Amino acid sequence: MTLSQARENFRTHGVMYDPAADPRLSGPDGPRNEAIKQALIADFEALATAEPGARQAIAARIDTHERHLRKRFFMESLTTAPIADR
């Protein structure tokens, strides 16, 4: 895979992999993981222009999103199938 292909896949699918050839252990992202990742992107973009007083709350949201993704990945790695999207 080239960097150009990875960028196009990210722009289109939100991950560097084409969904038809996703080599990740947990497989392609489900709707819940996609939503968490979109929220992360939005919060990182907001953080870049946030007033100093708002940065701590945004950083806390980012931390929460990242913990959810790590927890979901860990739970999926214990099974042979992805956990149900909630």
Q: In whole angstroms, what is the distance from residue 80 CA to residue 85 CA? A: 15
Could you tell me the pTM of the whole model? 0.72
Query: Position 28: which residue type?
Result: P
Q: In this predicted structure, what is the pLDDT of residue 64?
A: 96
The dihedral through the CA atoms of 9, 14, 17, 21 has a sign that is negative
Q: In whole angstroms, what is the distance from residue 55 CA to residue 64 CA? A: 14
Q: In whole angstroms, what is the distance from residue 6 CA to residue 71 CA? A: 25
pLDDT string in tens for the chain (86-residue length): 899 999 999 988 888 998 888 888 777 888 888 899 999 999 999 999 999 999 999 999 999 999 998 887 777 666 655 555 54
